[in-house]
Amino acid sequence: MRLFLDAHHHAYLRQLAREFSASPSQVRDELRQLNEVGLLVTRQEGRQLVYSANAAHPMFPELRSMVLKALGMDRILDSIVERLGNLEQAILIDDYAQGRDTGLIDLVLIGDIDRRNLDDLVIKTERHINRKIRTLVLTPSEYEALTPTLTTRPRLILWSRATGRGWERRKGDKNVSPIRQDSSALAGN
């Protein structure tokens, strides 16, 4: 799943086999099929092939959307944007940013956030998606001060008011669709 969460992530065959607790031959067959239909791209690094999602494939946005929905991110983001005040940016960090469903979702929320509504939302959402959510709420200046530390960790910008990237809800549309984001926005570029 993590390959379709962020096209910048890549993985080796044995790494994926360990994550899925499957034999390398089983994983190789699946990767070969995904590569043949153009959903994955490969490159050679030494003697190993490195796999990553093909962001240019027309199905990539839909696959990314499905992965985010499977992880419960669509519900979390909808609720955050609608109920929590002045959200500037929502960033997924650590395991889920790498596409690993460990059961603990780490979110960094930047802006003027209503903490009481956030705590209520977290409790309700955790029950609904059967995962634990840990949040770090920062003001824009606190985020700037922590940026050097945060950029060393795996991260994925889920939503950003400044760039209009991330998750976007269209008026009258009940579906949420992902918009491709640029990781340079996190670094302040």
Same domain, 49 and 141: no
User: pLDDT tens-digit profile of 129-158?
Assistant: 788 999 999 999 999 999 999 888 888 888
Q: Supply the pLDDT for residue 109.
A: 93
Q: Do residues 49 and 70 both lie within one domain? A: no
Distance CA 71, CA 179 (A): 17
Looking at residue 75, its pLDDT comes to: 64
Task: Take residue 166 and report the two structure tokens written for it.
Answer: 């991330």
Mean pLDDT of 161-188: 38
Residues 174, 87 within the same domain: yes
Statement to judge: residues 137 and 53 lie in one domain: no
pLDDT of 182 reads: 33
Q: Clarify whether residues 154 and 85 are in a common domain.
A: yes
What is the count of structural domains for the chain?
A: 2
Side chain identity, residue 112: D
Residues 141 and 176 occupy one common structural domain: yes
pTM higher than the cut 0.75 = no
Shared-domain flag, residues 65 and 40: no
- Tell me which of 51 and 182 has the higher pLDDT: 51
Mean residue pLDDT of the chain comes to: 77
Residue 179's CATH number: 3.30.460
Token pair listed for 42: 């490969």
pLDDT tier at 76 (50, 70, 90 boundaries)? low
97 phi, psi to nearest 5 deg: -65, -25
Q: Are residues 132 and 169 in the same domain?
A: yes
CATH number of the domain that residue 30 is part of:
1.10.10.10
**H or E segment at 89?**
strand 85-93
Q: Give the integer Cα–Cα distance in Å for 26 and 45.
A: 21
Mean pLDDT confidence for 150-176: 59
- Does residue 175 register a pLDDT over 60? no
Strand 155-160 versus strand 176-179 pairing type: unpaired
Q: How many helices (H) and strands (E) does the chain have?
A: 7, 9
Q: Looking at the structure, tell me whether residues 46 and 70 fall in a common domain.
A: no
Average pLDDT over residues 18-23: 79
Residue 48: which domain range?
Answer: 2-57
Q: Does 168 share its domain with 114? A: yes
